[in-house]
Amino acid sequence: MSVQSVDRALDILEALAERGGEAGLSEIAARTGLPYGTIHRLLQTLLARGYVRQESDRRYALGGSLVRTGGVAQRMVGGWAEPYLAKMVELSGETANMAVLEGDFVVYVAQVPSPRRLRMFAEVGRRVLPHSTAVGKVLLADRTDAAAVFGRTGLPRRTEHTITSVDRLLAELETVRDRGYALDLGEEELGVHCLAVPVSDGDRVVAGMSVSGPAERISALDRDELARGLRKIADDFGSEAFGSGRQGF
Amino acid sequence: MSVQSVDRALDILEALAERGGEAGLSEIAARTGLPYGTIHRLLQTLLARGYVRQESDRRYALGGSLVRTGGVAQRMVGGWAEPYLAKMVELSGETANMAVLEGDFVVYVAQVPSPRRLRMFAEVGRRVLPHSTAVGKVLLADRTDAAAVFGRTGLPRRTEHTITSVDRLLAELETVRDRGYALDLGEEELGVHCLAVPVSDGDRVVAGMSVSGPAERISALDRDELARGLRKIADDFGSEAFGSGRQGF
DNA sequence: AAGCATTTTTCCGCCTAGTGGAAAGGGTAT
DNA sequence: ATACCCTTTCCACTAGGCGGAAAAATGCTT
């Protein structure tokens, strides 16, 4: 049903991405379980097209050609997310956002603003640090290297409520995993509260969706009930947008 | 030398990207020249992996899986660009940036700041409109649909120098094509001048690199000589980062 | 509502394009 | 200088992929 060599080429690209965009041939072999000759041949093909690049030490890295298609795809995904974000706005009355983790940063990729007069507005494309945002917390809760991320970024204090202790933050991520949603109680911007839920591709958390608004309005909502509603929407979106991924086991 | 089916799968992905991320099977066939059966089979493979998605009207679109790899690749490219941007800083004494076009926006993907006390600082990841920036102009100069972009974005006045007439702007793009570099004379921010040059993958303009600084300092430089120097650096980077693309003709 | 044109999907025999084990070639650490 | 590890090349085998053409689905026109 599937074309073997294409499948394998994608495996290689993904293996490279998981290793942070760079790996040696044998590292790829270890991860994918493919024979060396095969990997080398497929890499040559990707190399010739600029999807992979070879460094001077003969290691392989993801190449520039992925940027173009990736950018186009990101806008598409943002577009598909809009109806779902609109549902979240309907449910909560507040502005809804979708964000992904890019490196150590949270990047907003789509937004549907609240119809209210007083509302949040975070431009699409904006980058923020994960430790002080609800989406950042859901995104990191799924990763085992959260502590390393905090090590690199530090935990700059944004407001008096920002959590600046690594231990407290890791404990909070634990809570996020357990209850399935994350909060930001004025940690990024004073007077602004957010509630975020994960978007999964069936295997891993690939994005986060959140609603944000003035502290008083958000506090007035029933958190658990809201979270339940948002999770449902995020799950629907996840299976629609990323759903066909990871089949064939 | 190259694996045929992988090459073809990449052709399909690129055809989709060129069509704005969405196309019917026969559109892809027209563009790639591949037989229907073959395209369909390859699309099924990409579909199963989430690299492509099928809409309700049976058309195909780029899928979410590209976002992950694309994001990782973008950071890699930004990293490779740094030594080149550093050379530009050395040459001009001013902050150097690299940016790409994402949809109708210019997105900064890498930066090396000037060592001077008074310097430009535009955060990586920032989005701006193309009409009022030098990088925006080089990026659009290569596209035939620049007028359409301006139609969608409008030409908001950022300063008293911003060009707000479509005709004047299109004429300026013509000039940019001819002389090989673009200027921004306080059109985005008062008192800030920029000079940008294109980065090509050998076929099309895929990014722009620019230097920006206080109007007085930039004016004091010999534009044509500076442009020549920057072009050389940008060309070197282009062939290094995207160079192995488009072989095999 | 029926028929026509267009586009997408399925099928299957042919055979080429891809596979992968193993050996040769490079780098670099000891 | 040598040994080890990682990468690249080679080649005989055959499974995996190819693509023409028919079937099915969709949607447009009359």
Determine whether the interchain pair A103/B75 forms a contact, defined as Cβ–Cβ distance below 8 Å. Answer: yes
Which of A49, A52, A127 should we substitute to test contact with B (largest number of B Cβ atoms within 10 Å)?
A49
CA dist., res. A86 & res. A43, Å (int)? 42
Facing A6 at nearest CB: one of B6, B72, B244: B6
Domain topology for B70-241: Beta-Lactamase (3.30.450)
CA dist., res. B149 & res. B129, Å (int)? 10
Residue A35, min C-alpha distance to chain B (Å): 15
Interface check for B83 against chain A (CB to CB < 8 A): the answer is: no
CA dist., res. B240 & res. B233, Å (int)? 11
Residue B222, min C-alpha distance to chain A (Å): 32
Do B31 and B15 contact (CB within 8 A), yes or no?
A: yes
| A17 CA vs D14 C1’ separation (Å) | 33
Q: Looking at beta carbons, which residues of chain A come within 8 Å of B73?
A: 17, 21, 62-67, 70
Residue B12, min C-alpha distance to chain A (Å): 11
Residues in chain B where the model's pLDDT stays below 70: 1, 122-123, 125, 243-249
Among B residues 99-128, those touching chain A with beta carbons less than 8 Å apart? 100, 102-103, 105, 107, 123-127
Contacts of residue B3, defined as CB under 8 A and 6 or more positions apart, other chains included, come to A5, A9, A41, A42, A45
Can you read off the two tokens belonging to residue B110?
Answer: 């890498």
CA dist., res. A11 & res. A14, Å (int)? 5
| B4 CA vs D27 C1’ separation (Å) | 35
Which amino acid makes up residue B43? Answer: L
The enclosing H or E element of B120 equals none
Task: Print pLDDT tens along chain A (249 aa).
Answer: 688 888 889 988 988 888 888 888 888 888 888 888 888 888 888 888 888 888 877 788 888 888 878 888 888 888 889 889 999 999 999 999 999 887 788 888 888 888 887 777 766 667 789 999 999 999 999 988 898 899 888 899 999 999 999 999 999 999 999 999 999 999 998 899 999 999 987 778 989 999 999 998 999 999 999 999 999 999 999 887 775 433 322
Q: What separation in angstroms does the CA of B236 have from each of A113, A122, B87?
A: 43, 37, 11
Q: Give domain limits for chain B.
A: 4-63, 70-241
DSSP conformation letters of B22-66: EE-HHHHHHHH---HHHHHHHHHHHHHTTSEEE-TTS-EEE-THH
DSSP conformation letters of A33-90: ---HHHHHHHHHHHHHTTSEEE-TTS-EEE-THHHHHHHHHHHHHHHHHHHHHHHHHH
Which amino acid makes up residue A70? Answer: G
Is A124 strand, coil or helix? coil
Burial degree of B170 (CB within 10 A; 0-12, 13-18, 19+): middle
CATH of range A4-63; options 1.10.10.10, 3.40.50.1820, 3.90.1150.10, 1.20.59.10? 1.10.10.10
Which of B47, B67, B77 should we substitute to test contact with A (largest number of A Cβ atoms within 10 Å)?
B67
Q: What separation in angstroms does the CA of A61 have from each of B95, B110, B162?
A: 27, 18, 40
Averaged pLDDT of chain B: 87
Do B119 and B92 contact (CB within 8 A), yes or no?
A: no
Size of interface A-B (CB pairs under 8 A): 216
CA dist., res. B176 & res. B89, Å (int)? 22
The enclosing H or E element of B161 equals none
**Could you read off the pLDDT of B80-127 as tens digits, one per residue?**
898 899 999 999 999 999 998 877 888 888 888 888 877 777 667 677
Q: Looking at beta carbons, which residues of chain A come within 8 Å of B248?
A: 48
Determine whether the interchain pair B3/A41 forms a contact, defined as Cβ–Cβ distance below 8 Å. Answer: yes
| A167 CA vs D14 C1’ separation (Å) | 58
Residue B186, min C-alpha distance to chain A (Å): 23
